[in-house]
Amino acid sequence: MPPQECRPVIRRTPQQPRERGIPDATVARLPLYLRALNGLAERAVATVSSEDLAVAAGVNSAKLRKDLSHLGSYGTRGVGYDVQYLIYQISRELGLTQDWAVAIVGVGNLGRALANYGGFVSRGFRVAGLLDADPEVVGDHIAGLVVEHSDELESVIAKRGVSIVVIATPATAAQAVCDRVIASGVTSILNFAPVVLTVPAGVDVRKVDLSIELQILAFHEQRKVNGGPVMGEEWAGEVS
C-alpha cells in the first residue's frame, strides 16, 4: 500500500456521478487489474510492463493500455507502470479508498461463508450487519457480529450507514427484501438469490448465480470432450 500521506480518502456516495466517462466494460476489468497488481505487490515487484500485467489479468495488452488511459495512467516508456501507484489509482476509481458498510441478508450456509470471508476488509468493505428471518439463527455470533432479525433491516441500514446490501435469501424472499432495501435508500445490491430482481432506474444490481456458472462450464467441458473450441478461444475479444 502507498504511504498514508499519498492516499487521501476520497469521499464519494454511490449516487455521485463519475468525473470521467469510463465505459462499463472497462470498469468490469479494473478489479482484474487490481487483483493482479496486488499479487505483484505481495512479491515486492515495483514496476510492471503492460504486457506482463495483461498476462497476469488475462486480457490483451492493447485493451489494458486503453483501459488504464481512462484513469489518466499511461505508464513510462521502457519502465512500465508503478505497481503501488497504479493500485492506488484503480482503488480510488473503484471507491475502495473509503470504508463501505455492507449488510448481509440471509445467513444460511452462503451468508455465513460471506460473513466469514476475510478479504472484505482489506478491499474496503466492512460487514456492518447480518440479518435473517429464522428465529433459530437470530442471536448467533458470526465473525464478531450478532445475527439480527430481518425486521430490523431498515434500522440497521440507517444506523450503520449501510451503502451496499448482499441478498443471500431464498428466491421467494429476495424481491421483498430488495424492495425494503431500496425504500431505505440503498441503491447498490449484490444478489445471490436464484431470481431476477425487479428494480427501478438508478439501482445497481449485480447477480451471482453459481448454478448458471457451473452450467456454462459444463457446456464448455462437453464441447472440449467432443472436440469443439475451448472456452478461451471462443471468448477471446468478446468484451470490448
Residues of each annotated binding site: 106-111
Residue ranges for the known binding site for NAD(+) are: 106-111
Pick from 76, 87, 100, 82: which is nearest to 31 by CA?
A: 87
Strands 125-132 and 100-105: parallel
Strands 100-105 and 162-167: parallel
Would you list the DSSP string of 52-110?
A: HHHHHHTS-HHHHHHHHHTTT---BTTTBEEHHHHHHHHHHHTTTTS-EEEEEE--SHH
- What gap in Å lies between CA 51 and CA 56, rounded to an integer? 9
